[in-house]
Amino acid sequence: MTSEFDVIARYFSRPAQHTAVGVGDDAALLACDPAQQLAVSTDSLVEGTHFFADADPYFLGRKVLAVNLSDMAACGAQPRWATLALTLPYVDPLWLERFSAGFFAMADAYAIDLIGGDTTRGPKSATVTILGTVSDSAFIARSGARANDDVWISGTLGDAALGLAAHEKKALLSDAALSQCLARLNNPEPRVELGLRLRGIATSAIDLSDGLVSDARHIAQASGAALRIEFERLPRSQAIRQLVDPNLANQCVLAGGDDYELLFTAAPDHREALASLSRELNLTLTRVGQVDSGSGVRICDASGADVEIEHAGYDHFA
Ligand code: ADP
Ligand code: MG
């Protein structure tokens, strides 16, 4: 079994749940509610850049969909369809078995139809394009932060980066901390439900994929506002708090990538609603700062003095 068409038929063709025409024709055909718009986003995972050659394909399959779902979450869209462009050096049935199992496990968790893609030969990479629905009034853009809004962050920061540091022997962790951080790195959970519930509440949002400071700057720039973030308030896991090397901890929290938490802004009169949403979703939501007039991102200590930022975040071409 080596043909491209065998691979598609065997591993990537499943009956679609809510799609008129899915995998197998020249194009997929989607029925759209005329009251909604389509939100579309693409993210790739490339061997050597985003994952190691020996990465477990099950978690790779999950993650390539998860990082795309995270983009839907950040704009308050309901994800519904995905395409998958897969490039492989050769056909490895065991690898494909596990990759597709992971991919469809994540797809099932969020009722996503895989509606098409492309299968080519070359250095290993996987690219997903995700499509979701949202009305233009419910769409949460990066550009909506206004002076006086609160800045919020879901979950905890820096665990994925710490997992990567441990994997590269740059940090020594307890067994429990290591498995928790590696789970955050290899098996991120997209905050889809949170994103949907932030419709009408968040004035802006972004998912944290490149690092807190770098991603916060995107909100500041798009909104024409300044973000002031209190360093001590940043949500840290047990693993981060237990680190003996404070520089590494700060580096992970401020600039670590791959967290896939949401950073969002909301007017102060939503504080109570967000506290109860946090309980309902069983997901920590932490108020970490404020939007000011001006520009850029400031990380400050409790007294308001600037905390120095060494490395802002990940940039493929920096
Ligand atoms: P074409 O040559 O017309 O571009 P392909 O031969 O590339 O079509 O693909 C055949 C069908 O399989 C198409 O419907 C395409 O969307 C789908 N497809 C190809 N690769 C994948 C994949 N990795 N996952 C899901 N669907 C795929
Ligand atoms: Mg093709």
Give residue for tokens 């994952």.
Answer: 51
| In contact, 124 and 89? CB cutoff 8 Å | yes
* pLDDT of 317: 66
Q: Ligand 1 test: best mutation among 10, 118, 128, most atoms within 8 Å of CB?
A: 118
- In this prediction the pTM is 0.95
Strands 78-88, 113-121: parallel, antiparallel or unpaired by DSSP? parallel
Residues with CB under 6 A from ligand 1: 8, 12, 23-26, 84, 86, 114, 116-119
**Predicted pLDDT of residue 313:** 66
Average pLDDT, rounded, for the chain:
95
Higher pLDDT, 79 or 304: 79
Alpha-carbon 127 to chain mean position: 14
Ligand 1 centroid distance, CA of 11 (Å): 12
Query: Ligand 1 centroid vs 119 CA: distance in angstroms?
Result: 7
pLDDT at 158 over 70: yes
Percentage of residues in the chain with pLDDT exceeding 90?
A: 89
**Residue percentage of the chain with pLDDT more than 70:** 96
**Which residues keep their CB under 5 angstroms from ion ligand 2?**
118
Q: Which residues contact 152 (CB under 8 A, 6 or more apart)?
A: 263, 264, 265, 266, 274, 285, 286, 287, 288
Q: If DSSP codes are grouped into helix, strand and coil, which group holds residue 101?
A: helix
Give the pLDDT confidence of 61-71 residue by residue, as tens digits.
Answer: 999 999 999 99
